[in-house]
Structure 1
Amino acid sequence: MTLDFRADGAPLPLDLQHLIVAGWTGRDADAIAHHIEELAALGVPAPSQTPLYYRVSAPLLTTAPVIEAVGEASSGEVEPLIVEVDGKRYLGLASDHTDRALEAHSVAMSKQVCAKPCATELWPWDEVADRLEEIELESWIEEDGAWVPYQSGTIAAIRPLADLIEGSRISELSKDGPVAMLCGTFGAKGGVRPAAKFRMEMRDPKTGRSITHEYETRTLPEVA
């Protein structure tokens, strides 16, 4: 399945071959502990090590404005997205949408069962490489008909992206074709919780440009 990205205003269609979700990537040990405690409240077991690199199906990455999930326990997380193809690297914006009920049993499986929404626009790596840690990310969820701030932070709160690139072997995997990696997130204001609508933004404070994406989650009936 081809993803119709754009970079520098030009179409960049990609047939993604590999998708990675990097987890537990916080740079601050206290922040990692907080996120682990936050998810532990939902019954999620602590990771075996940090960071972890979950391999999920490439077709899960989608630019669609609507995704579907079984039950009402899934939620999004704003994350920087790295895309590598033909020796070129790009920075984008994505949501690691995750089934929180399943996460209590298997984090790896909870990543696999949900689509990973992303914005269509990508920034060439060389255009932001000198200030990656200044890049700002923010998300909102819709509650009671109003948009509520959900997450905010800069890439400086995440482990250096160069370390994640090395640890994930993304460059080696790109020999098979285009590869993408979601790079981790920040704690949620008010705690992790589901919402039918999720909005996210990535901003470059130096240039003032931004990437945004909004999506809706349709709930499928949970039957047994």
Structure 2
Amino acid sequence: MRFTCNGQWLDLELSHLVVAGWTGRDQAAIQHHIDELAAIGVTPPSTTPLFYRAASALLTQSPRIEVVGTGSSGEVEPLVVQAGGRQWLGLGSDHTDRTLEAHSVALSKQICAKPCAAQLWDWDSVADRLDQIVLESWIDEDGSWVPYQQGSLSAIRPLGDLITAAGLDSLARDGAVAMMCGTFGAKGGVRPASRFRMAMSDPTTGRSISHEYATVTLAEVA
């Protein structure tokens, strides 16, 4: 994949993609969400946080993805990229099939493409203020952009802890590795949309990264 960082091209051969789940710092809120999902048939996680594996080819910078049926939706997440002893912070959407999620969370993570922005920030440039970084998303509803998610990384477990727990150093021996690191609750509830817009901003410097993609629905043939 080709990214940009500090105005320069960064070409990476991605070998592993990890999707971290249940990464909130508020354990009571996590348990509440687990109970809510269990009520609709979603199996509780074996531990929290949990690190799902997905095919590296699912990570895409395309402005369009294709999904089967109408039961999928996006969610904005910080994206950690590591290769050659270096780390970067980026922006991605853990687009997930919610219908399949009730059967298997792991399979629901694998079935959809994971859109990401083409721009990365050098890790050292934000490492001292990661908790201040803000992520937001919007969905297209009836032709208007509606706020969907908003939060800072202070609501997510420290990214350094997730990097260690996921074993990224070991995985990076095979090549570049990327990890999505969790998200925030959706305003008005989780729901699908034909277009999804997301942004990550650094209040200290005023710089930001954004990405937008459309979801094309394929017929669900039985």
The interval holding the TM-score normalised by the smaller chain is: over 0.9
Q: CA RMSD in A?
A: 1.1
Aligned twin of 1:92: 90
Q: Mark the CA change 1:144 to 1:38 in structure 2 (over 3 Å): closer, same or farther.
A: farther
Work out the CA distance in 1 between the residues paired with 2:124 and 2:27: 29
User: Normalized against structure 2, the TM-score is what?
Assistant: 0.97
Deviation at 1:30, TM superposition (A): 2.8
Deviation per CA, 1:167-205, whole angstroms, max 9, x where unpaired?
A: 100011101100000000011111111111100000000
1:137-176 equivalences under 5 Å are: 137-176=135-174
Deviation at 1:13, TM superposition (A): 1.4
> 2:19 is matched by which residue type in structure 1?
V
CA contact under 8 A between 1:98 and 1:110: conserved in structure 2? yes
Give the match's secondary structure for 1:48. Answer: coil
Deviation at 1:15, TM superposition (A): 1.3
Deviation per CA, 1:103-142, whole angstroms, max 9, x where unpaired?
A: 0000000000000000000000000000001000000111
1:66-85 equivalences under 5 Å are: 66-85=64-83
Give structure 1 regions of 4+ aligned residues with deviation exceeding 6 angstroms: none
CA contact under 8 A between 1:35 and 1:187: conserved in structure 2? no
> 2:101 is matched by which residue type in structure 1?
E
Aligned twin of 1:110: 108
Aligned twin of 1:204: 202
> 1:85 is matched by which residue type in structure 2?
A
Work out the CA distance in 2 between the residues paired with 1:89 and 1:158: 18
- 5+ residue gaps, structure 2, are none
User: Normalized against structure 1, the TM-score is what?
Assistant: 0.96
> 2:117 is matched by which residue type in structure 1?
A
Aligned twin of 2:25: 27
- 5+ residue gaps, structure 1, are none
Aligned twin of 1:186: 184
Identity %: 66
Q: Mark the CA change 1:41 to 1:120 in structure 2 (over 3 Å): closer, same or farther.
A: farther
1:127-146 equivalences under 5 Å are: 127-146=125-144
Work out the CA distance in 1 between the residues paired with 2:38 and 2:93: 21
CA contact under 8 A between 1:38 and 1:192: conserved in structure 2? no
Aligned twin of 1:59: 57
